[in-house]
Amino acid sequence: MISPSLDLPAGGSAVPDVLSVTATLLQSPWGSALRVAEFNETFAALISPSGAQHLIFNGELWPHPLEETLTRAAETVGQRGGTLIVLGGSSQRTASLQGALPLRTPAALRFLHLTSAGNYSSFPERRRLRDPLGRALRLALPLTNSQHNQALTLVQERLAGAQRDIEEQQVFQDAIAQRKPYATYGILTLIGIMFLLQSYVGTALAEKMGALTVASVKEGQWWRLVSVGFLHGGFVHAAMNSFVLYILGAQVERVLGTRRFLILYLVSLVGGSLASLSQLGEGTSVGASGAIWGILATQACFAFGKPAILPQALAQRMRAVAVQNLAINIFISFQANIDWAAHLGGGLAGAALLLSGILSPGLLSPTQALTDPSSEKSRDTSSPPWLNGAAILSVLIMVSCVLFAQFSGKSWKLAGPAILINVPLPELGLTIALPQGVKHSTKRDPETGWYVVEYGTPGRDLAFGTIQFSKGPGPSTREGQVKTLKELLSRRRPPEGTTVIVSPHLGSLLGAPASREKYRYANDVELDVLILPLPQVLLRSDLLCVQPGHAQCPTQEQILKPLL
């Protein structure tokens, strides 16, 4: 389990000390990013931007039982990754030190031992050749007096720099804590109100409450570009978006300030909606993901210093987090039923707004605002004169678009029973009943000669379906009608991908003989199939209901009542 010992380069007759190894690592190609958190002759702690810790122990001078120390250190270092380095001791002790590590050593944990005889051992062995830290360690040599002073100066400078970073980050955190994310809380409140309204009337009616569709925007319903961000497809969807907004939105707002955050949120939301239209087709889109992606992109811009508003050490640590967040959300974006275009459009819009510098004038680091009160007072004079107006306008646009969508769709009436109106079918000389506002069309199948009435729009209406009418009259007697139904039932098969709720059977509809069957699809859409032989016509009615039992879903009896 321990790699074969490797001799140090020529001239390394004695083991390097903690100072020598620390200085060598700091001067390595990747050492400029390391932060010296602690240093003395027996111990040094180096921390990388990702949070990984590299702990260096002088095994001969360490005042505590080294095995116990390694056991505790391995638990901490293994969480974020890093290396445990022990200097001194014999090769026989290597096995004892390795035995102090957890039986299931985390993959991100590395153990290195440089013995007093100058032998180098590593664990796990498979990472020995590709580990840059191990290669740097083998280059460490005992120091001459002049080298000792230079190395000590380097380490002390980096240690002092680390202390300054810690102090700056503490001041930054104190400044952040004094800023309240009022915009984030307000947006979350509006999302919560709209979700309660959706729960009352039914989430399947989102299109009538302001969801995004290509057809509606083409008709001039531009408010949907904004109202879509306050509607969701269910509890899980709303809860996930709200949680991310609560965490990331609050962080970004505290850095940007409430006014700039409001502008960013609206621009990202509209950018996501416009991108969504390019690939939405006949579908429907809901959710705040476009705006949230704008916030994610802003977090990434902060982490990479565009603009340079965060403490440098904090920005470096945030880079890995920002990249990880983006990677996770890119993976999620290309899952089924996810509007990836809205995600991409919102992220690009948010990043473009921030990188353009439009929001930069007067933007102060929270640290500067806290430590220099005069700069906070002068921020209003250096901010763009349009900033207040643009922030107020953003609030008015978001609120008015949500309200306009509700008044347009009369969402408060959607929880009540559907209002049915009689719809004449001139081609057939018949009349059926359909919910008010539901579109329908009648056409004749050139192959069968049957007339087909299609009504409702999937994604927009709770109920939609077809009614097929035969080209000639049906059986004139009740006995003939029952015989026809039995013949049809003998040939019936469940539709593919459905579960049987009610098997095909003979029954009646408002006193007339009829066959009835019901099925459920995997997405919980319910299909009600009814075949009705009448003296003047033979018909088949297929009714699909997105939310069975909802008052806005008419029944077969209600739709066909005018025929009887």
Q: Any idea what the CATH number is for the domain that residue 447 is in?
A: 3.40.1000
| Rounded Cα gap, residues 356 and 503, in angstroms | 63
Q: Which amino acid does the sequence have at 225? A: L
Q: What is the pLDDT at residue 401?
A: 95
Instruction: Look at the alpha carbons of 492, 495, 499, 502 in this order and tell me if their dihedral is positive or negative.
Output: negative
279 occurs within a structural domain: yes
Are 110 and 214 contained in the same domain? no
By C-alpha distance, which of 48, 101, 112, 46 is closest to 73? Answer: 101
β-bridge mates for residue 512, sequence order: 509
Share of the chain above pLDDT 90, in %: 26
Are 504 and 466 contained in the same domain? yes
Q: How far is CA 212 from CA 33, 50, 164, 291, 523, in A?
A: 46, 40, 50, 14, 21
Are 29 and 148 contained in the same domain? yes
Give SS3 for 412: helix
Are 235 and 92 contained in the same domain? no
Q: How far is CA 409 from CA 197, 227, 418, in A?
A: 13, 12, 14
64 is catalytic: no
* Strand pairing class (526-533; 538-545): antiparallel
Q: What is the pLDDT at residue 116?
A: 81
338 occurs within a structural domain: yes
| Rounded Cα gap, residues 255 and 268, in angstroms | 17
Are 488 and 447 contained in the same domain? yes
pTM for the predicted model, two decimal places: 0.68
Q: What is the pLDDT at residue 379?
A: 47
Are 194 and 166 contained in the same domain? no
Residue 351 CB: number of other CB atoms within 10 A?
20
pLDDT tens digits along 360-378: 877 766 556 555 555 544 4
472 occurs within a structural domain: yes
Count of domains in the chain?
A: 3
Q: Which amino acid does the sequence have at 83? A: T
| Rounded Cα gap, residues 132 and 138, in angstroms | 10
| Rounded Cα gap, residues 409 and 135, in angstroms | 68
13 is catalytic: no
| 8 A C-beta contact, residue 305 and residue 315 | yes
| 8 A C-beta contact, residue 114 and residue 86 | yes
1 occurs within a structural domain: no
Are 165 and 184 contained in the same domain? no
β-bridge mates for residue 513, sequence order: 508
Give SS3 for 396: helix
Are 112 and 156 contained in the same domain? yes
Q: What is the Cα gyration radius of the chain?
A: 35
Are 331 and 395 contained in the same domain? yes
Residue 454, domain extent = 420-563
Residues 6 or more apart in contact with residue 339 via CB below 8 angstroms: 276, 280, 285, 287, 289
Q: What is the pLDDT at residue 2?
A: 29
Give SS3 for 8: coil
Q: What is the dihedral of CA 292, 297, 298, 304, to 10 degrees?
A: 150
Active-site pick, 289, 365, 383, 394: 289
**Residue 433 backbone phi and psi in degrees, to 5:** -120, 130
Active-site pick, 54, 113, 237, 343: 343
Residue where a domain terminates, one of 174, 202, 237: 174
Are 114 and 239 contained in the same domain? no
Q: Which amino acid does the sequence have at 132? A: P
Query: How would you write the pLDDT of the chain (564 residues) with one tens digit per residue?
Result: 223 333 333 334 456 788 888 888 888 877 887 888 889 889 999 988 777 888 999 988 888 888 889 888 888 887 778 889 998 888 888 888 888 887 676 667 888 888 887 777 877 765 444 555 666 666 666 777 777 888 888 888 888 887 777 777 777 777 777 889 999 999 999 999 999 988 888 777 788 888 998 988 998 999 999 999 999 988 999 999 999 999 999 989 988 889 999 999 999 999 999 999 988 887 888 999 999 999 999 988 888 877 777 777 677 777 777 888 888 888 887 777 788 899 999 999 999 998 888 888 777 665 565 555 555 444 444 577 889 999 999 999 999 999 999 988 887 777 777 788 999 988 888 899 998 888 889 998 888 788 899 998 876 788 899 998 886 666 666 677 677 777 777 777 888 888 999 888 888 877 778 888 899 988 788 999 988 887 777 888 999 998 887 878 888 889 988 887
| Rounded Cα gap, residues 210 and 195, in angstroms | 12
251 occurs within a structural domain: yes
155 occurs within a structural domain: yes
| Rounded Cα gap, residues 35 and 163, in angstroms | 9
CATH number for position 248: 1.20.1540.10
Residue where a domain terminates, one of 413, 439, 468: 413
Residues 6 or more apart in contact with residue 10 via CB below 8 angstroms: none
Q: What is the pLDDT at residue 10?
A: 36
Residues 6 or more apart in contact with residue 354 via CB below 8 angstroms: 264, 297, 298, 301, 306, 307
Burial 427-466 (b: 16+ CB within 10 A, else e): ebebebbbbeebeeebeeeeeeebbebebbeebbbbbbbe
Rounded to the nearest 5 degrees, what angle is found at the Cα of 377, between the Cα atoms of 374 and 380? 140
Residues 6 or more apart in contact with residue 151 via CB below 8 angstroms: 19, 20, 22, 23, 143
- Element housing 273 (H / E): helix 258-280
Are 437 and 339 contained in the same domain? no
By C-alpha distance, which of 55, 46, 47, 38 is closest to 160? Answer: 38
β-bridge mates for residue 467, sequence order: 453, 541
| 8 A C-beta contact, residue 82 and residue 54 | yes
Instruction: Look at the alpha carbons of 244, 245, 246, 248 in this order and tell me if their dihedral is positive or negative.
Output: positive
53 occurs within a structural domain: yes
Residue where a domain terminates, one of 133, 159, 174: 174
Q: What is the pLDDT at residue 128?
A: 47
Are 118 and 68 contained in the same domain? yes
Q: How far is CA 293 from CA 75, 137, 198, 326, in A?
A: 35, 42, 24, 9
